[in-house]
Amino acid sequence: MNAKTISSLCVLSLCILETVALADDPKFEYGKAEEVKDVKAVQWNASAQAGFILTSGNSRTSTLSFGATASRKAGDNKFSLDGMASYGQSDIKIAVDQNGDNKVGENEIVTQSTVTTNAWLVKARYDRFLTEKNSLFVTARLGGDAVAGKTVIAGAQIGYSRLLLKTAMHELAGEIGYDFSYESYEADNVESLSIHSARLFIGYTGTLTADTQLTAAAELLTNISDEANAPNDTNGDGNVGDETELGVDPLHDQRLTAKVALTTKITSDISFRFGFTAKLDTAPAPLPNIKGSDGYEMGFQPIAEELDTITEAQLIINLI
């Protein structure tokens, strides 16, 4: 086995370890009464995970991620706290034509560092179980996603949860409620935004075989108030040109998050997980200023993409 092959295998190993440890959003789950029905005294649980990947040479990237979760169960009450943070940057070579000859010469190649990931989120949730199938909940969250143009993302939710179906193989739950969101943007010329929304959530867990489980969940938020200062790309060109493209009417700001994951056990200590996440925002945030510039031209303010997706393939190894 030559040095190049060994190097490739080392990089692959690092990527697999990073994928397993990568912090995802705080758990996108619903409250379950069965989690507290056998709890006789106060019960605490906590876990944490972290990942780091670094490449050098022709490709220079670094990514750091962290995730943690904790819960407290007592009687018919459950409190949970989840958090995640991820930061990554890449060094990219670019040409600077200093002499204007449209060719790249000596000293006309520079390396520019670009932040590709910069997000964090902390979420707390309290569930009060009324019966085996009915419960009330309240949540609070605080975070940020600079790459998506959002300096601060904060909010709270309150609502009612109902276990719609429960069999030996399938479980389906739904939630309805109210959501308040506050967003502060990276772009200097855009005001912060408060959004009042109706919330609808549905979650499914299915046991396909003794070793394979399927989970799926979707959350929809739709604004019930007018968003006077929100960007509104009315002509679909990816740019908020002037004040005529500000303001979103009620029921026109849709934020949908959908997740699906398939986990199968290969051996008693090794499992494989494939997951897909889609995040849709029909009124996305304005993009921050491009690094190295003094801002955008008058009448030109690009906005973020409406749809983000994440595809994951993980090999999970239980060491203990």
Question: 124-180: per-residue pLDDT in tens?
Answer: 999 999 998 999 999 999 999 888 778 899 999 999 999 999 999 999 999 999 999
Question: 208-242: per-residue pLDDT in tens?
Answer: 999 999 999 999 999 998 877 666 666 555 556 55
**Strand-by-strand arrangement of the 170-185 sheet:** 43-55, 60-74, 77-95, 109-129, 134-145, 150-166, 170-185, 193-209, 212-223, 254-265, 270-281, 307-317
Question: 22-45: per-residue pLDDT in tens?
Answer: 334 545 566 676 676 666 678 898
**What's the pTM?**
0.72
Q: Backbone dihedral region of 294: left (phi > 0), alpha (psi from -120 to 50 degrees) or beta?
A: alpha
Question: Angle at the Cα of 11 (from 6 to 14), degrees rounded to 5?
Answer: 125
Alpha-carbon distance of 77 to 31, in angstroms, equals 10
Domains contained in the chain, number: 1
Question: CB–CB of 163/133 below 8 Å?
Answer: yes
The rounded radius of gyration (Å) of the Cα atoms in the chain is 23
Domain range spanning residue 59? Answer: 3-317
- In angstroms, the Cα distances linking 187 to 158, 162, 307 are 30, 40, 20
Which structure tokens are listed for 311? 């595809």
